[in-house]
Amino acid sequence: MKKLVKVVAAIIENEENEVLCALRSPVMSIPNRWEFPGGKVEANEDIFSALRREISEELECKIETQEEVFNENTHEYDTFIINLLSIKCKVVEGMPIRSEHSKLIWLKRENLDSLKWAPADIPAVEQLINEKIVFSQ
């Protein structure tokens, strides 16, 4: 039986209404695909705390999260099932610095579909492209 993994992802927008996209490294599972940065929710951790912790560890910056889930998607990969909760955020301290990913880029929403996304992230990408309202800065 495949393990279900609960994961949070940060949809981080900047003042230019660009979204932060992270390229998974060749050594990560689902290599060389784009994703919204984030990670696994630990036991006894709420999703918002988990996301702030993951972004602090992964990108060395602090974020503020919206208090609601923007997109929730469950996707079955070959070896595991992911329950991905995407949450809109903004950076409140520091700037994102790449540590685990191969690359970080900022893209306008209308250009997000030019990247090859990890399958679990695609519903959030499509929702972002189709949404007209941006997270207020």
Question: In this structure, are residues 13 and 135 in contact, taking their beta carbons and an 8 Å threshold?
Answer: yes
* pLDDT attached to residue 8: 98
Which helix (H) or strand (E) segment is 49 a member of? helix 47-59
Q: Minimal CA–CA distance to 109: which of 133, 84, 85?
A: 133
pLDDT, block means (10 residues), the chain with 137 residues: 95 95 94 97 96 97 96 96 97 96 96 97 96 54
Assign a CATH topology to domain 3-130. Answer: Nucleoside Triphosphate Pyrophosphohydrolase (3.90.79)
- 12, amino acid identity: I
* pLDDT attached to residue 133: 47
User: Phi-psi region for residue 44, left (φ > 0), alpha (ψ -120 to 50) or beta?
Assistant: left
- 114, amino acid identity: S
* pLDDT attached to residue 132: 62
Which helix (H) or strand (E) segment is 86 a member of? strand 80-93
The residue extents of the domains of the chain are 3-130
